[in-house]
Copies of this chain bind each other. A is one copy, B any other.
């Protein structure tokens, strides 16, 4: 599993990581000063330190990749390019679920189990509203306190700036940097805003959905087709009075999954009951992930999926760039809005509207 034998050598810097992980709540001034300090580290040094597992430098590298300053972006890309040969050696797990399903509690329990077993666990979020930051109501205090203090774990909240497309790009690069720093399990949380589930499915090997008891009913708020994106469904809070119902729900989901097309060729998605309070079912989840990897390895789907994910990422970035450039032209948005109004009134055909955009 783990092919980086080093252990993080900077546990004394955990407090610093805590700052790096939660600086979204800082004033702009404090943040600016913090970022400024990063810039003084040369690319070569940053590359080496990240490669040696320094969480402080990993956080700094990620900050460079997330920066909107051209110089930072160039430096960040250079660090990433240097580290590319060290990437890819992790199991990438996506975690989604309805609000209230207990995603952060699960990630804390699951991550701690893995970290205590010697794994290096990185936790990332794909969207600004994810629970990793604890939400604005709770301020900077992360909900995954114990995991955040563990020397084998690294927690990074989602970049708050930019479109989902931008966050997507940054989260992928963050994932690669974490792998280069020796993290062999990457947990990526998403709350399912807009297209984020599809984005995360396109980034990970194993995609799991957290639900509560009562199959189906609570999926109303989820993205359509979510059931056919997942490799496993965890029925969470399977403890106490809820245990019996949770087991029934697991059976219902297994039956349902049988009817649907599997997300990963050759793997029949399954459902498992988990309690993050009683710490039951967590090992079974990990065993399922390992069984999944073994299956995927035999049919070469693992490597092929990662290759096709990289290609899709490239294509979608080309697409985004073309659209962004087009709509960034002065007056373009207004022009499109006017044409849309004309379309809805029946004053113009769609083909005519497109011609008007492109031929003058």
Chain A interface (Cβ within 8 Å of chain B)?
73, 77, 80-81, 84-85, 87, 169, 172-173, 215-216, 219-220, 222, 224-225, 227-229, 256, 258-261, 263, 307, 310-311, 313-314, 317-319, 321-323, 325-326, 336, 339-340, 343-344, 346-354, 357-358
Q: Quick check: A319 and B318 within 8 Å, CB to CB?
A: no
Q: What are the residues of chain B within 8 A of A326 when measuring CB–CB?
A: 318, 322
Q: Quick check: B224 and A224 within 8 Å, CB to CB?
A: no
Task: Take A261-B220, A311-B343, A357-B318 as given contacts and tell me if A77 and B349 are in contact as well, using a CB distance cutoff of 8 Å.
Answer: yes
Q: Quick check: B84 and A318 within 8 Å, CB to CB?
A: no
Q: What are the residues of chain B within 8 A of A259 when measuring CB–CB?
A: 215-216, 219, 256
Q: What are the residues of chain B within 8 A of A351 when measuring CB–CB?
A: 73, 77, 80, 169, 173, 317
CB-CB nearest in chain B for A317: B354
Q: With both chains docked as a complex, state the minimum distance between the C-beta of A21 and any C-beta of chain B, in angstroms.
A: 23
Q: Quick check: B344 and A219 within 8 Å, CB to CB?
A: no
* A307→B344 CA distance, assembly (Å): 7
This chain's copy number in the assembly: 2
Q: What are the residues of chain B within 8 A of A215 when measuring CB–CB?
A: 259
* A220→B347 CA distance, assembly (Å): 44
Q: What are the residues of chain B within 8 A of A228 when measuring CB–CB?
A: 224-225
CB-CB nearest in chain B for A346: B84
Q: What are the residues of chain B within 8 A of A219 when measuring CB–CB?
A: 259-261
Q: Quick check: B343 and A310 within 8 Å, CB to CB?
A: yes
CB-CB nearest in chain B for A259: B216
Q: Quick check: A227 and B260 within 8 Å, CB to CB?
A: yes
Q: What are the residues of chain B within 8 A of A172 when measuring CB–CB?
A: 350
Given A73-B351, A225-B228, A322-B323, 11 other A-B residues pairs in contact with their CB atoms under 8 A: A77-B349, A80-B351, A84-B346, A169-B351, A219-B261, A256-B256, A310-B344, A314-B353, A314-B354, A317-B354, A319-B323
Q: What are the residues of chain B within 8 A of A348 when measuring CB–CB?
A: 81
Q: With both chains docked as a complex, state the minimum distance between the C-beta of A243 and any C-beta of chain B, in angstroms.
A: 22
Q: What are the residues of chain B within 8 A of A85 when measuring CB–CB?
A: 346
* A353→B169 CA distance, assembly (Å): 13
Q: What are the residues of chain B within 8 A of A354 when measuring CB–CB?
A: 314, 317-318, 321
Q: 12 interchain pairs (CB within 8 A)?
A: A81-B348, A81-B352, A219-B260, A224-B225, A225-B228, A307-B344, A310-B344, A314-B339, A314-B340, A314-B343, A317-B351, A318-B326
* A260→B319 CA distance, assembly (Å): 31
Q: What are the residues of chain B within 8 A of A258 when measuring CB–CB?
A: 216
Q: What are the residues of chain B within 8 A of A358 when measuring CB–CB?
A: 321, 325
* A227→B259 CA distance, assembly (Å): 10
